[in-house]
A and B are shown apart, each in its own frame.
Chain A
Amino acid sequence: MTVAFLNLTWPTFANGLALGGIYALMAVGIGLVFGVLRLVNFAYGQLIMAGAFALAFGAQWNFPNWLSILFCFGVVLALSVLMDRLVFRPLRTHSPAVMLVATFAVAFLLQSVALLAFGGLGKSAGQFAFLNTPVDILGVEIKEIAVISVATAAGCLIVLQLLLVRTAVGLHLRAASMDFRTARLLGVRANRVIAGAVIVSGLFAAVAALMLSVEQSQVVSTFGLQETIYVLAGVVLGGLNRPVPATLGGFSIGFAIGILGGALPSNQTQYLPSFIFAAVIVVLLVRPNGLFTRGGGAVERV
């Protein structure tokens, strides 16, 4: 009955999965940095925006596709390392609220720089728009990009999981996000761990920029902003303290948006943000420590 009302179809479902995958990658990017720095990076969307602009310049300069992708990764990584050095590092000892407001400032700063440099109309990054063509999978027409997004997101998450579980860097990262001070006492190098988190987070931002630019080929200064707001909500919703709940939170909000965006009657899709954020508020009230966390959450009083 609800299915009939929601007009749910397989392509919509696939879109939901694809958006969920991209949001999950962004959630990991935000969650990893939060793990080691206790910093919610509001400026994550502007990393994605920078990556998308890099792609647009690649298109303008007629780069071959591999070079555009490389350029996108280079720009995003450089910017995220720069952000860490110039803003996060001096702020490391401040309270989470101060850091959040500071990243808010960085976000608006970068957005204004983009607006100033590239104008209100932005630039076009159309080189991957051909991925919007539908392919036939088991008799269902699904956009190629949806398949690629799901596969890439899954691949990235698996590689990250292996990195976290099988390598020394991963061990250090996990240790640092559990208890930064103790990890340092045990010989984990703070700067190296933070650099690792920032780099992985930047890589995922670049991947997200690639995926998002397929459907939004006109890159403007607000590219990635709305997505970041959703992902931040999703990450807090899932539970910021651990990578898996954060990822699940990001995925579920992306999935919900994908499904509802395609399935709601058209006169109601304009209120989609209201539905999503109302749900976010309700979940936060019921489970303030996150939807996918188990127990714990007691306030530490020393």
Chain B
Amino acid sequence: MSVLRRSPEFLVPAALVVATALLGLEVSVYLQAYFIDTLVKVAIVVALYVFIGNSGVLSFGHISFVALGAWTAGVLTVPELQKRLVMQGLAHSLLTTNVGNIASLALAAGVGLVAALAVGLPLMRLSGLAAGIATFAVLEITNNVLTYDQALGPGVNAFSAVPSTTGIWQATIGALICIGIAFLYQLSRFGRMLRATREDPAAAAAAGISTHRQRLLAFALSGGLSGLAGGLYVHLQPLTASGVYLDLTFITLAMLVVGGSGSLLGAVVGALAVSGLDSFLSAAVNGVDVFGWQFHVRNGTPEIVVGTLMAVVLIFRPTGITGGRELSLPRRRRRVADLEKARATT
């Protein structure tokens, strides 16, 4: 019965995503791009959450899997003729290989998964600051290689001529897949074991849980979801290597932290709230019309507002808007309350 009782953990975030998509259908094509972007951000943040939220270990390296996914899906879908024009240094096998939209997304997820597994195998032994710096190093290396290696993609240039297949529905389905997998994972015994290591590493180890193995599993899974999100991202807009680097790392971490990194609901709420604010302000740089009132901000304002918001949330509510809590049907909540009471008395 626990699946039914915990189903709101999936249904509420999913409903929020679908509501966003439906809202996106009502607006102009120009504004719809922001909604699609928001949905892709939801996918990225949920991917981040699968690892960071469940393990409690900070990772600055996830955007490198997004970048790898984007490169995979991008290179494999640009028509060969265009590839010869815009990516002249491309390796021959990549030049001649072309797959469809869905296959490219699946391959992007696969590449993200394999890369995360390979990187995580040694790195997941680290914890604390060493883990933070090591994952940062992964991001730096990925960005450095993708920026300069012309055999893998467009190098310093933007990914032009990628078919823009990520419309509002593809983005919605992608985000829903990420949320669904994240939900199933945290419902599974693996998710529970990883959460146990987060709460008390010593007790978890005493119960026979291998922290390394559980973290690696979550890291690989979240790498795969990151790759998928990267694939969605490259099909949305012409990406550059600098577009999947520090700024994206910052904004997605900000979303996760503002929403509350402890829960799936927090990840989705944070992504929607921050991305909504960011999109609104970005649109306002060119001027938006709010119920007949012209709203204008200067270039750079979105970053300042988001940065301030993140700092303020961290200072006053370090567990995020949702406080790291999931929504569930009442019975469970009572039991948790009882548990807390029991714990308080012992």
Q: Spell out A's residues near B (CB within 8 Å).
A: 40, 87, 90-91, 94-98, 100-102, 104-106, 108-109, 111-113, 115-116, 225, 229, 232-233, 236-237, 240, 270-271, 273-274, 277-278, 280-281, 284-285, 288-289, 301
Contact = CB atoms under 8 A, between A and B. Distances in A.
23 contacts: A40-B129, A90-B316, A94-B318, A97-B132, A100-B132, A105-B250, A106-B307, A106-B311, A108-B247, A108-B250, A109-B308, A113-B300, A116-B298, A116-B300, A116-B301, A270-B144, A271-B144, A274-B144, A277-B144, A281-B137, A284-B137, A285-B126, A288-B125
7 A-B pairs with least C-beta separation: A109-B307, A116-B300, A112-B303, A277-B137, A105-B310, A236-B133, A102-B314
A105 B311 contact: yes
Contacts of A229: 136, 140
Contacts of B314: 91, 94, 98, 101-102, 105
Contact of A102 (B133, B303, B315): B315
A149 B307 CA distance: 34
Residue from B250, B307, B310 with most neighbouring chain A CB atoms (10 Å): B307
Given A91-B315, A100-B132, A281-B134, A274 B303 contact: no
B202 interface: yes
A46 B83 CA distance: 40
A41 B136 CA distance: 15
Given A90-B315, A108-B303, A240 B138 contact: no
B141 A278 contact: yes
A43 B56 CA distance: 23
B330 interface: no
Contacts of B308: 109
Nearest to B133: A236
B253 interface: yes
Contacts of B292: none
A105 B310 CA distance: 6
B208 interface: no
Nearest to B148: A270
A165 B303 CA distance: 43
A116 B126 CA distance: 38
A109 B304 contact: yes
A239 to B, nearest CB: 10
B300 A115 contact: yes
Nearest to A289: B130
A284 B300 contact: no
Contact of B311 (A109, A116, A280, A281): A109
Contacts of A274: 140-141, 144-145
B310 A280 contact: no
B179 interface: no
A175 to B, nearest CB: 22
A123 to B, nearest CB: 16
B217 interface: no
Contacts of A240: 129
Residue from B125, B298, B315 having most chain A Cβ neighbours under 10 A? B315
A36 to B, nearest CB: 16
B126 A284 contact: yes
Interface class of chain A by DSSP? helix
Interface in B121-156: 122-123, 125-126, 128-130, 132-134, 136-138, 140-141, 144-145, 148
Interface of B: 56, 58, 122-123, 125-126, 128-130, 132-134, 136-138, 140-141, 144-145, 148, 202, 246-247, 250, 253-254, 257, 298-301, 303-304, 307-308, 310-311, 314-316, 318
A281 B138 contact: yes
Contacts, number: 118
B253 A232 contact: no
Contacts of A237: 133
Nearest to A99: B314
Contacts of B148: 270-271
Contacts of B315: 87, 90-91, 102
Contacts of B299: 116
Most chain-B CB neighbours within 10 Å: which of A91, A277, A288?
A277
Given A101-B58, A281-B123, A236 B130 contact: yes
Nearest to B307: A109
B118 to A, nearest CB: 12
Contact of A284 (B130, B298, B318): B130
A24 to B, nearest CB: 18
A71 B105 CA distance: 53
B140 A273 contact: yes
A111 B141 CA distance: 23
Given A106-B311, A109-B308, A236-B129, 12 more contacts: A87-B315, A97-B58, A100-B132, A108-B247, A116-B301, A229-B140, A233-B137, A274-B145, A280-B137, A281-B123, A288-B125, A288-B130
A214 to B, nearest CB: 25
Contacts of B123: 281, 285
A157 B310 CA distance: 35
B232 to A, nearest CB: 24
Contacts of B257: 101
A274 B138 CA distance: 9
Contacts of A288: 125-126, 130
A102 B258 CA distance: 11
Contacts of B301: 116
A252 to B, nearest CB: 15
B125 to A, nearest CB: 7
B141 A102 contact: no
A278 B304 contact: no
Contacts of A98: 314, 318
Contacts of B56: 97
